[in-house]
Every structure is written in C-alpha cells, then in structure tokens.
Amino acid sequence: MHIMEGFLPLNWCVVWYVLSLPVVAYGAYKMNIMIKENRDILPLLAVSGAFIFVLSSLKMPSVTGSCSHPTGTGIGAILFGPWITSVLSIIVLIYQAVFLAHGGLTTLGANTFSMGIVGPFAGYLVYKACMKRDVNMYIAVFLAAMLADWLTYIVTSIQLALAFPAASGGVMASFEAFLAVFAITQVPLAIVEGAVSALLFKHIVQLRSDVLLKLNVASPSVMKKLKEASA
Amino acid sequence: MKLEYITLAIIVAFIAAFAYVSSTGNHEWGGSDDMPENVINDLTHGSYHPWFNSVWVPPSPEIESLLFALQAAFGSLIIGYFLGYYRGLAKARAAATSEEQEGNLNARPAR
C-alpha cells in the first residue's frame, strides 16, 4: 500500500496531507491526554505500535505470485481507537520513507490516509458492531484486523485511480487496473493478519483484562466469560 | 489452546499455497508496492515521471534487508518484553493471593 515517492501528482499529495494531518493531530492530542490520565496503558500502547512495526516489515508471498505486507493496525484500532492508531501508523510510515525508501515523504499523506485512517476506522467500527451483536470477541478481532488490512489496499487503489484516470473508462477503469495489483494478493495476507491479531489479543485478555475494561474494549460480563473459558 | 491451533492451521495453509503457486509457474515474487509503476506507465503511456526522489535510498539490498530486519526485531522485542513482564506479574500476584487465602501470611515478610 506504500505509494512510492513522487508517484502522486503534487495536487493529490496536498489533498491527502490535508485530509490526514488533522486526524493525526487530533490523535496525538488524544494520545497525550490518555497517557497523562492513565500510565497503565503505556505498555499496551507500545505493544500496539510494535505490532504495526513488525507486521508492516514482513513482505509475504501471496497466491498471485507477488509479495505484499500486512498492516498490523487492527490491534491498535481496537484497543485505543482509530485516532491514536493514525499516530502509530505515521511513525512507521515515516521510518520506512526515510530509511528504507519505501513509501515516501510526498506520498506520506496518502499512505497515512489508507493505512492509518481508513483501515483503523473500518476495523474499529467492525469490532464495535460485532461486540454489540455478541459475536465471540476473538472472531470480532479477526474480522476487524482482516478488514483493516484489506481495506487499506483498496483505498490505495482508489487513491492511485483518482490520480491516474484511464484515457478510456476514466477513474473506474484505472481503479480496476490497480485493484488487480492489490486486491487478491492481499486476501491471504489479511486472513493471516486477522488470525495473528486474534492470538495476540487472547494473550492481552489473559494478562491485562483490567486495562481492557478501563479502555472500554469489552464489557465486564464478556471478559468474565472469556477468562473462564480459557482457564 | 484452540485459537493457537487455528492460527497455526491458517499459517500452514498460507505456506502450502505459496509452495503450490511457486511450483506451478514462473513468478517474480516482486513487491506489490512497486507494481503500480507499471500500471501508471500503461495508463499514461509513459508520460508520467516521478517528480520527487527518495531522500535516501539504502545503498544495497543487504542494507535494506538489515533495516527491515531491525524494524521487525525492534517490534518483536517490545511485544515480547511487555507480554513476558505481564505474565510474570500475573504469576506473582496469583502466588501472593493464594498464600493469603491459605492464611500463610507469615511465610513471607510483609511488604
């Protein structure tokens, strides 16, 4: 999903920066308040950020014969919400743009928008909707993380299509062309990411259910049921 | 343990899919992040040129993979450290409460 340096026309770079920066700024503001109010959450915040670090560095081979990488933003979105996750994502994206020539500074706004904003927001909403319908918590985490991953790549396709509409067929035609690169390749990766996220979440539930309650990630009754099931 | 087995099965299936695909055809296994370049070339008939270059490019694939590995290592280190710390904390707490329940308060000096 990293749009390469210089591969978006200047006007689109500006558009995505303008859309992304306020979200990141608000996320940083929220993160600040959360950390001040509650020192207990710091380790989990670090774990969420570290998870994005690990997963976004793994380029895995997919069924289409090309490699892609997961995003790892689902856990952060579920624990701390999409605003704060956008801050964690932009840190990773800046690291990769500066040290790895992966992604870029001009495309940072666009990449933050897809990986740090749309993906986490989708994951967060899916998780909340699942919990409302009493879906098993780990299935909810699986679905949320999987969708956050997959949707990130769909958004990248949209961003590229908007910037490079086809001569015949316009944006829709080029959207299909970019989807062909990303959509199917990403499906197996998204499934793996969902499963690994659910597994990490299981450990967090077992070890720090008190923090999960504080963060309002699950209701006390759900938490009690899960702990009994795993005991 | 059930979730562990399901995750393991999914990862095994993923590896099997890779083994199957790579044995049935010639693939480059290139990064999907680099492929839009070709699509953009097709769409614009080669008229689009990147207008900005990366501020720094790792001088060799080895150095690039070093930096990617560092990224992953640093992340896993943090995850492992805190989960391990929490696990030890939970164990210590459980031991402390079971001692209390057994009325064994004198077994250990009060903190």
B4-56 confidence digits (pLDDT tens): 999 999 999 999 999 999 999 899 999 999 999 999 999 999 999 999 999 99
Name which residue leads in pLDDT, B79 or B108. B79
Based on C-alpha coordinates, what's the Rg of chain A? 18
CA distance A16 to A5: 14
User: Does B110 have pLDDT greater than 60?
Assistant: no
Does residue B15 sit at the A interface (CB-CB below 8 Å)? no
Does residue A184 sit at the B interface (CB-CB below 8 Å)? no
A110 pLDDT band (50/70/90 cuts)? very high
Average pLDDT over residues A32-42: 93
Pick from B56, B71, B77 the residue to mutate for testing the A interface (most A CBs within 10 Å): B71
The pLDDT value given to residue A29: 98
Tokens representing B36 are 């839009």
CA distance B25 to A199: 33
SS3 B38: helix
- The model's pLDDT over A202-228, given as tens digits with 9 standing for 90+, comes to 999 999 989 999 999 999 988 888 878
The pLDDT value given to residue A59: 93
Tokens representing A53 are 């670090």
Interchain CB distance below 8 Å, B28 and A63: no
What fold does the segment set A10-230 form as a domain? Arp2/3 complex 21 kDa subunit ARPC3 (1.10.1760)
Pick from A99, A107, A142, A212 the residue to mutate for testing the B interface (most B CBs within 10 Å): A99
Convert A200-226 to b/e letters by CB count within 10 Å (16 or more is b).
bbbebbbbbbebbeebebbeeebbeeb
The pLDDT value given to residue B104: 59
Interchain CB distance below 8 Å, B85 and A166: no
SS3 A196: helix
The secondary structure of residue A68, as a DSSP letter, is E
- The model's pLDDT over A48-88, given as tens digits with 9 standing for 90+, comes to 999 999 999 999 999 999 999 999 999 999 999 999 999 99
Tokens representing A174 are 């080029």
* Residue in this structure with the two tokens 């990773």, named with its chain if needed: A92
According to the 3-state scheme, what is the secondary structure of A93-115? HHHHHHHCCCCCCCCHHHHHHHH
In chain A, where the domains are located: 10-230
The pLDDT value given to residue B99: 82
Which sign, positive or negative, has the C-alpha torsion A94, A96, A101, A103?
negative
Phi, psi values for residue B45, rounded to 5°: 55, 40
CA distance B71 to B76: 9
Average pLDDT, chain A: 95
Does residue B36 sit at the A interface (CB-CB below 8 Å)? yes
B52 vs chain A: nearest CA distance in angstroms?
4
The pLDDT value given to residue B102: 77
Q: Give the chain A residue nearest B91 (alpha carbons).
A: A207
Beta bridge partners of A166: A170
Beta bridge partners of A68: A60
SS3 A166: strand
B101 pLDDT band (50/70/90 cuts)? confident
CA distance A138 to B10: 15
Average pLDDT over residues A151-171: 96
DSSP letters, B47-82, are ----S---S---SSHHHHHHHHHHHHHHHHHHHHHH
Of A68, A100, A203, the CB nearest to B64: A100
CA distance B37 to B2: 43
| Closest alpha carbon to A163 in A152, A154, A153, A174 | A174
B108 pLDDT band (50/70/90 cuts)? low
Of B6, B27, B75, the CB nearest to A51: B75
The predicted model scores a pTM of: 0.93
User: Does B105 have pLDDT greater than 80?
Assistant: no
The proportion of chain A whose per-residue pLDDT surpasses 70, expressed as a percent, equals 99
| Closest alpha carbon to B89 in A224, A40, A137 | A40
Question: Which residues are within 8 A (CB) of B14 and not within 5 positions of it... i.e. 6 or more apart?
Answer: A60, A188, A191, A192
CA distance B55 to B66: 18
CA distance A157 to A50: 26
Interchain CB distance below 8 Å, B64 and A208: no
Are the C-beta atoms of residues B107 and B99 closer than 8 Å to each other?
A: yes
The pLDDT value given to residue A223: 87
